[in-house]
């Protein structure tokens, strides 16, 4: 007789992590398909294929689910941006890589979901409280990276470059909206190249 292998039972922590991942993925899908107003707890429940009680055990409120969606994508972006900066051999290359990495996010479905969340924060105080802290941490991290690159290049005009970062954020969000409305990838890519050329000229002056 051969012994039947017994599959080890997953720990409670593993089961919780799997549930959270499934809910976050479902919420992101619903956000992209139906927008923030359509991403109800019941819609997320149906997309996740689990009970509302199981979801609420991990995420008592919709705002907490939305915060988890935002945090997961922000964590991914941080990894991508950090790698892009490390690959730069000069400050200009690091900045160029960072710009490229940022605009690679425009066509990602998670970016559309994140935009839905941020737009909804205006009229949802609970959502704003949940999402605000992680958003500010992400913005500070990226801003610090940009300042370090500029400092390495001998550029000290902090106020000017804060304004350029604000403009760059606006262009990123605007192109994300365009991608949602009319995903004409070649046109969006051309627009990104034009903006990148001007942005590098404004930063480095050549």
Degrees (nearest 5) of the Cα angle 48, 51, 56? Answer: 90
Q: Report CA-CA distances (Å) from 59 to 75, 95, 110.
A: 19, 38, 19
Provide the pLDDT for residue 56.
Answer: 92
98 assigned to some structural domain: yes
Under 8 Å between Cβ of 158 and 147: yes
pLDDT above 90 (res 141): yes
Percent of the chain with pLDDT over 70: 94
Provide the pLDDT for residue 171.
Answer: 93
Percent of the chain with pLDDT over 90: 67
Cα-Cα end-to-end distance for the chain:
77
40 assigned to some structural domain: no
17 assigned to some structural domain: no
Q: How far apart are CA 35 and CA 127, in angstroms?
A: 15
Q: How far apart are CA 71 and CA 91, in angstroms?
A: 28
1 assigned to some structural domain: no
Secondary structure class of 39 (helix, strand, coil): coil
Degrees (nearest 5) of the Cα angle 158, 163, 169? Answer: 125
Provide the pLDDT for residue 125.
Answer: 94
What CATH number is associated with residue 93?
1.10.357.10
Confidence of residue 154 (pLDDT cuts 50, 70, 90): confident
Mean pLDDT of 137-144: 92
27 assigned to some structural domain: no
Q: Report CA-CA distances (Å) from 70 to 29, 122, 152, 184, 202.
A: 13, 16, 31, 25, 31
Q: Both tokens of residue 183?
A: 């995903």
14 assigned to some structural domain: no
Provide the pLDDT for residue 49.
Answer: 93
26 assigned to some structural domain: no
Sole residue written with tokens 């991403």: 39
Name the H helices within the chain: 12-38, 41-48, 52-58, 62-86, 91-103, 109-120, 125-152, 158-181, 185-204
Provide the pLDDT for residue 198.
Answer: 93
- When the pLDDT of each residue in the chain is averaged and rounded to a whole number, the result is 89
Range of the domain at 149: 62-204
Provide the pLDDT for residue 8.
Answer: 61
Q: Both tokens of residue 5?
A: 């292998």
Mean pLDDT of 25-38: 91
Confidence of residue 10 (pLDDT cuts 50, 70, 90): low
Sole residue written with tokens 């008592």: 60
pLDDT above 80 (res 43): yes
| Count of domains forming the chain | 1
5 assigned to some structural domain: no
- The DSSP output letter for 206 is -
């Amino acid at each position: 007789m051969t012994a039947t292998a017994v599959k080890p039972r997953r720990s409670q922590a593993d089961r919780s992590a799997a549930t959270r991942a499934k809910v976050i993925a479902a919420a992101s899908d619903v956000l992209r398909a139906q927008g923030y107003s359509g991403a109800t707890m019941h819609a997320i429940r149906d997309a996740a294929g689990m009970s509302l009680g199981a979801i609420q055990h991990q995420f008592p409120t919709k705002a907490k689910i939305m915060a988890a969606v935002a945090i997961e994508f922000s964590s991914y972006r941080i990894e991508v941006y950090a790698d892009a900066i490390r690959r730069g051999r000069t400050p200009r290359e690091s900045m160029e890589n960072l710009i490229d990495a940022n605009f690679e996010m425009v066509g990602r479905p998670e970016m559309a979901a994140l935009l839905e969340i941020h737009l909804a924060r205006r009229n949802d105080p609970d959502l704003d409280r949940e999402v605000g802290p992680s958003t500010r941490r992400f913005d500070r991290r990226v801003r610090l990276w940009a300042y370090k690159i500029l400092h390495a290049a001998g550029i000290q005009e902090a106020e000017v470059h804060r304004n350029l970062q604000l403009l760059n954020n606006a262009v990123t969000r605007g192109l994300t909206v365009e991608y949602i409305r009319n995903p004409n990838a070649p046109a969006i890519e051309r627009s990104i190249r034009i903006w990148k050329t001007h942005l590098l000229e404004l930063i480095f002056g050549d």
